[in-house]
Structure 1
Amino acid sequence: MDREESWLRFNQRVLELAEDTAIPLLERAMFLAIFSSNLDEFFMVRVAGLKRRLATGVAVSSPRGHHPRELLERISKVAHELMPRHAECFHNSVGPALAEAGIRIVRWDELTSAESQRMQRFFRRTIYPVLTPFAVDPAHPFPYISGRSLNLAVTVHDPQSGRRMFARIKVPSILPRFIELDGGRFVPVEDVIAAHLPQLFEGMEIREHHAFRVTRNTDLEVDEDETDDLVQALENELLRRRFGPLVRLEVEETISDAVLAILRQELGAEEGEVYRVPGPLNLAGLSQLYNLDRPELKYAPLVPVEPRALANGDFFSAVRERELLVQHPYESFAATTERFLAAAAVDPQVVAIKQTLYRTSGDSSIVEALIEAAESGKEVVALVEIKARFDEQNNIRWARKLEEAGCHVVYGVVGLKTHCKLALVVRREEDGTLRRYCHVGTGNYNPRTARIYEDFGLFSSDLELVEDLSDLFNHLTGFSRKRHYRRLLVAPRALRESLTRQIQNEMANHEQGLPARIRIKANSLVDEDIIDALYAASRVGVPIDLWIRGSCVLRPGIPGLSETVRVRSILGRFLEHSRVFVFENAGDPQVWIGSADLMPRNLDRRVEALVNITDTGQRVRLIGMMDLAMADSTSSWRLAEDGSWTRASHDGRGTPLLDFQNTLRGDRHLRVVDG
């Protein structure tokens, strides 16, 4: 199946959560916001990539045989179905429910006279000083419209000359999406601006005003082989990002044909790139409502637990005793990962810390710990991936701050993104020997997303594993072509080959009558070679369970091809983000966790790492989690052979199926196995 349409169907599942009246109301509003921001990124990257291929003449057909032009037409068709459905969910379901709960998004003509007067004062004090109307005439060419900005297209009539003229006003991003009134009422910021257009165009007659929004290509192109300074080259490219070509034009459905024609002509928008939807535009701004103090309209608070193994207070002694597997957000990121690095930073016995950083938060305690360690004289190496999409500027800023503190900062391997999640601490023990401690994770070192992203982390002082991390860090900071490790599978050199070999091993075991089964949890499954290997395994009868959150282009259940394959997707309160691979291995399961999805970019163009889980209790825990997610009694979306996803949330008697995330949240035994 096509990757692009599969991704759109994933975002449709997000929309179905917004449509689900059993979910707390502000959570539904947040799912509407997530759908909107997801779709923005899809157009900025995936649609932009297809358009670039067409423009450069390297338009290669997809595995399904579709030319990029056909794919763009299909994307446009599906997106034109989903965007009105998204708006309908807001106007007919979430919006009215919010109003019943005392949270109203009102338009300007619904304001009371007192509210109008208050907004007039607010406009003069807060909005007017930052507005700049841009007229379009022979002396003023059509202004550049930056990506994802909200704008007003205005037509005015000059009573003196009789001319009709066009102007554009950008809604400054520093303003809130919705301006709060009294009593839980909010008004879109563009409505306030539109109501005061006569003050911006004094002496003119305002004839029309319409909101519109542009999405642009934001992918970065840096030739690492041709640049002497990757950071400088990337910064220059970031400056050009906002000038990328248009990929989508959103307009309110009330826009006149005349104004739309002006926008299309000036912006170069083709008919299929225009999306007319009911206002207000940019419902990603609904995330603003989530900050309201209305706990009864949200999921019950989650209080992450601290693993019992850490109760004695000495992190290093606990990890020396046995490996520790934690799952966020059910188990505290602060009490485990942040604590591990903070303890290393202040421990006088620690002599060195090595760390990869792909994405982190703006107020990262992780980075602060590295800075503190460097300032106290420890050897600190930080591998910062400055090409992490949409986090490039943030990562450059952190990299420079780390360098100023005395950290050794490197930017990975030329031509590859470093996506693996690794930390290595070198500590001098009481007997004078050096001992290494490590963390291998499935998610980023980001304290903020760790509260809502589900991920695993393994802490260990196992000699084989820490040797692997030492070798891998040496590869990343120096020159090395090491291919094989002890407990790690590392991309791009060996991961694809190793996964394929383990799939083939399950085939051989099944043919010999030995226990054989494949279970995989990943964010995406789009790699053709891995899919072909899974098809081959299914054809000989190997049971295959695939738990894929997002894009999946494999077709399950096709006679003679994939009869033994089941595909599930679980979406909910937390973003299922961990990657888990389980191979039955004739009754002695091989279990791996790590950073790699099953995509060509992960297997061939990134540095990824999977770690082998050797502790029996931890393997039982992970296998039990996989089986629970795939059980018919668990609520999930199920993928059919035709590519359609069906949500199974109730049984035949109408009884709700088990909620997977709530089960993990409430069942300590499933989450914490510490002996």
Structure 2
Amino acid sequence: MEYLENRELSWIKFNKRVLEEATDPDTPLLERLSFSAIYQSNLDEFFMVRVGALTDREKTDNTQKDGKTGMTPSQQLDAVFTAVRRLQPSVEEAYKKTTDELIPYGFEHVTFDTATKDELTFLELYFKREIKPFISGIVVNDDLPFPFLKNKEIYAVVQLSAKKTTIGIVPVNHEQSERIIHLGRGGKRFILEEEVVLHFAHLMFKNYTVLDRALIRVTRNAYIMASGRGAEFRERMEELVDKRKKLAAVRLEISDVFSRESLDYLCRKLKLKNVRVFTSRIPLDLSFLYTLQEYDSDPKLHYVPRSPRKPAVLSDTRSVFAQVKQKDILLSYPFESINLSFIRLLQECANDPKVTSIKITIYRLARNSKVVDALCTAAEQGKDVLVMIELRARFDEANNIEWSKQLQEAGVKVIYGPRDYKAHSKLLLITRKAQGGGYDYLTQVGTGNYNEKTSTLYTDLMLLTADREIAADAEDVFNGLLNGTFVESPRKLLVSPLALRPQVLAMMDEQIEIAKNGGKGYIGAKINSLNDMAIIEKLVEASQAGVKIELVIRGLCCLIAGVPGFTENITVRSIVGRFLEHSRIFIFGTDGPEQKIYIGSADFMSRNTIRRVEVAAPIEDEKLRKRIREMFRILMKDNVKARVMLSDGTYIRDRRTERQPLLSSQEYFYDEAYSKLELKQNRQEQLKKNRESGAAKKKPGRPKKSASSAKKPAVKRTRKKKEE
């Protein structure tokens, strides 16, 4: 269909938008380098997971076609490789342009051609003393075994003179590795370790003549599927995580033109077709660029410093639980601090003798997690603590396995969720003894992980509520996770895999009916990705019925907006900026009491809507509804970091008229958080002054009273007694 886009190609368009930030003149120079590194990191994961999955599919059933574009796995892979290759010149240009612009600030990535004579002498000595003792060269040909090349590790390869094809391989990484070798200016003048190893690689093969040399980097398949529930599942996951390191290669990156004979030999040994070889004339691993940020504190090279604010809505004098009992609270990250809100809530409840139980679903955690600390404290104090930790959270499997062990050791009851479904929900339920008997409940539903680090980098929302029906739904979710069943008929929450998509489609149908009857139907959504065909087809139906649809989709979007006859009433925009857009908002209906607003953990992806446990909560407090409506309007007005999808599926920067002021939604929300807290602090300061002023007026001693005035009160008291 002309309004559908292939999932993989749509994702590559998203990564192109990330790359645009690496060339945006309004982005500070060192931040531009970070976006180059993010682009590459994203692409690495894409090859490991998505290309890995397509490669497996190509081998098992190459006739299986993509439901949106009719492409076979082979055709999709060819299209992916072509799209990635087309972007490579822009990737290289972004890196080179930014590093050139950093030269006036003292930064210089030195090569052996630009190094001074003294630096060349130093580098040779450095190689012999600091690198060569820790590495070894491996000679390989058809008579000798080919070594295992680790995922994303850099190797120097050389073509050696011999009768048959013979190459030498030198692993660059070792225990004493210092990737950035400082040559001066506090490290800002540098060369990379792999470049030094490559230059002196001939010293590792003294019995051979080196004919050609290059750096290589292998990307391996990381697509693994696992199912299970019990204690043995953790052991199974540990085995799979270890096995993943040794899966088949899916890509070979090489630093320069290399001997065709030797390259063909490498591909044969790695079982790769030449189409999977990608040449790069910039460093093969750009992760070192994050370190460069630390080498210069010049404000011109960095974003304006921002730090999460204390939530103005929370009081310091009462517990978070008590405040939520009084009214629903909405928190917005990274603009507000997770440590001074959610972590504070957990710590208070862990030490509250009236709290009887804490139940939580965990997907990803920070390295030194205060969440785990609080849960362990609660369990050690005798509370009933249940943690559903998802061991299949991609690339966090090993971390979560270790967290599960630590939690169990502290007395926490740990479960791993449904056998064939990931639990991706962000759900917390706290039970507390109520004054006068019975229990009070606090339920938290969020869009992001309980991760202190990413909460400063990702935009997310969190609802805290004392609503008893929502608490009952949350209890049902946890019971289902315990028993391996799914919630079918929730009272208020949306809960996949059985009770989220049907409800979303039904609410879209309501808007279609309104539009068909001459009213103003409206659907708004902020999500990370869209590929669920049932939802896509319903959106098309709604557009054809005249429903106004506004979608803010950061990543892949398989629906093309603005296609006449199909999606002309749909607007799709993507915001890519300083912070990763991660919150999910669903809006059905125009402003008013009938409008339905939800926040939750699910994207409109079939994996979220029917193959995971996800939770979304209604926003019912009018103040919070108003706040989210305003948030969504600001997102739709962003003309700094927003890109708008055209009817051919391409994206352009939102066009701004001369009269329109610049509006970056992320900066707007941060300014708002700062101003709200400042306003609250000013009010508190004024109240303090008023109290001090009132106290000062009362402080002086009573003035001496005249005899006549002293008698009057006594008369009044006497009169009063008589009246009584």
TM interval, short-chain normalised: over 0.9
Conservation of the 8 A alpha-carbon contact between 1:535 and 1:562: yes
Superimposed CA distance per residue, residues 402-440 of structure 1 (whole angstroms, 9 cap, x where no aligned partner): 111111110001110000001122222444542222211
Matched, 1:367 2:369: no
- Partner-residue secondary structure (3-state), 1:154: strand
Q: Highest CA radius of gyration, 1 or 2?
A: 2
Matched, 1:216 2:217: no
Partner in structure 2 of residue 468 of structure 1: 473
Identity of aligned residues (%): 35
Matched, 1:234 2:237: yes
- Partner-residue secondary structure (3-state), 1:568: strand
Between the aligned partners of 1:283 and 1:65, the Cα distance in structure 2 is: 35
Between the aligned partners of 1:351 and 1:663, the Cα distance in structure 2 is: 40
Conservation of the 8 A alpha-carbon contact between 2:214 and 2:256: no
Q: Which amino acid aligns with 2:264?
A: A
Superimposed CA distance per residue, residues 485-513 of structure 1 (whole angstroms, 9 cap, x where no aligned partner): 22210000110100000000001112223
Superimposed CA distance per residue, residues 316-360 of structure 1 (whole angstroms, 9 cap, x where no aligned partner): 221111111010000111111111112222223222211111011
Matched, 1:644 2:650: yes
Matched, 1:251 2:257: no
Conservation of the 8 A alpha-carbon contact between 1:524 and 1:550: yes
Conservation of the 8 A alpha-carbon contact between 1:330 and 1:671: no
In structure 2, relative to structure 1, the CA distance for the partners of 1:113 and 1:427 (3 Å cut) is: farther
Partner in structure 2 of residue 167 of structure 1: 168
Between the aligned partners of 2:150 and 2:336, the Cα distance in structure 1 is: 41
Aligned ranges for residues 46-57 of structure 1 at < 5 Å? Answer: 46-57=50-61
Partner in structure 2 of residue 446 of structure 1: 451
Aligned ranges for residues 370-381 of structure 1 at < 5 Å? Answer: 370-381=375-386
Matched, 1:191 2:195: yes
Between the aligned partners of 1:670 and 1:638, the Cα distance in structure 2 is: 30
Matched, 1:629 2:639: no
Q: Which amino acid aligns with 2:517?
A: Q
- Partner-residue secondary structure (3-state), 2:287: helix
Partner in structure 1 of residue 393 of structure 2: 388
Between the aligned partners of 2:411 and 2:291, the Cα distance in structure 1 is: 39
Given candidates 598, 601, 611, the residue that maps to 1:595 is 601
- Partner-residue secondary structure (3-state), 1:667: helix
Conservation of the 8 A alpha-carbon contact between 1:178 and 1:187: yes
- Partner-residue secondary structure (3-state), 1:334: coil
Conservation of the 8 A alpha-carbon contact between 1:130 and 1:172: no
Partner in structure 2 of residue 153 of structure 1: 157
Most deviating of 14-23 and 285-294: 285-294
Between the aligned partners of 1:361 and 1:120, the Cα distance in structure 2 is: 41
In structure 2, relative to structure 1, the CA distance for the partners of 1:356 and 1:129 (3 Å cut) is: farther
Matched, 1:531 2:536: yes
Partner in structure 2 of residue 178 of structure 1: 180
Q: Which amino acid aligns with 2:173?
A: P
Conservation of the 8 A alpha-carbon contact between 1:516 and 1:542: yes
Partner in structure 1 of residue 713 of structure 2: none
In structure 2, relative to structure 1, the CA distance for the partners of 1:157 and 1:669 (3 Å cut) is: closer
Q: CA deviation at 1:265?
A: 2.1
Q: CA deviation at 1:468?
A: 1.6
Q: CA deviation at 1:654?
A: 10
- Partner-residue secondary structure (3-state), 1:381: strand
Q: Which amino acid aligns with 1:182?
A: G
Q: CA deviation at 1:107?
A: 1.8
Given candidates 33, 39, 46, the residue that maps to 1:42 is 46
Q: Which amino acid aligns with 1:346?
A: N
Superimposed CA distance per residue, residues 536-559 of structure 1 (whole angstroms, 9 cap, x where no aligned partner): 001010000010000011111122
Between the aligned partners of 1:524 and 1:19, the Cα distance in structure 2 is: 24
Q: CA deviation at 1:373?
A: 1.6
- Partner-residue secondary structure (3-state), 1:229: helix
Conservation of the 8 A alpha-carbon contact between 1:515 and 1:586: no
Partner in structure 1 of residue 281 of structure 2: 278
Residue segments in structure 1 that go unaligned for 5+ positions in a row: none
Superimposed CA distance per residue, residues 114-163 of structure 1 (whole angstroms, 9 cap, x where no aligned partner): 434444554455433432322214653111112211111123348xxx88
Q: CA deviation at 1:21?
A: 1.5
Between the aligned partners of 1:189 and 1:258, the Cα distance in structure 2 is: 27
Between the aligned partners of 2:227 and 2:216, the Cα distance in structure 1 is: 34
In structure 2, relative to structure 1, the CA distance for the partners of 1:124 and 1:464 (3 Å cut) is: farther
Between the aligned partners of 1:632 and 1:407, the Cα distance in structure 2 is: 45
Between the aligned partners of 1:4 and 1:28, the Cα distance in structure 2 is: 25
Between the aligned partners of 1:366 and 1:449, the Cα distance in structure 2 is: 13
Partner in structure 2 of residue 14 of structure 1: 18
Conservation of the 8 A alpha-carbon contact between 2:165 and 2:261: no
Partner in structure 1 of residue 268 of structure 2: 265
- Partner-residue secondary structure (3-state), 1:233: helix
Partner in structure 1 of residue 722 of structure 2: none
Most deviating of 214-223 and 284-293: 284-293
TM-score (ref. length: structure 2): 0.88
Conservation of the 8 A alpha-carbon contact between 1:149 and 1:173: no
Conservation of the 8 A alpha-carbon contact between 1:358 and 1:385: yes
Q: Which amino acid aligns with 1:217?
A: N
Partner in structure 1 of residue 414 of structure 2: 409
User: Please, what is the CA RMSD of the aligned residues?
Assistant: 2.4
TM-score (ref. length: structure 1): 0.94
Most deviating of 554-563 and 530-539: 554-563
Q: CA deviation at 1:208?
A: 2.6
Between the aligned partners of 1:614 and 1:640, the Cα distance in structure 2 is: 35
Partner in structure 2 of residue 615 of structure 1: 621
In structure 2, relative to structure 1, the CA distance for the partners of 1:114 and 1:605 (3 Å cut) is: same
Q: Which amino acid aligns with 2:132?
A: Y
In structure 2, relative to structure 1, the CA distance for the partners of 1:129 and 1:341 (3 Å cut) is: farther
Between the aligned partners of 1:139 and 1:583, the Cα distance in structure 2 is: 67
Between the aligned partners of 1:13 and 1:656, the Cα distance in structure 2 is: 23
Conservation of the 8 A alpha-carbon contact between 2:543 and 2:566: yes
- Partner-residue secondary structure (3-state), 1:283: coil
Given candidates 568, 586, 595, the residue that maps to 1:581 is 586
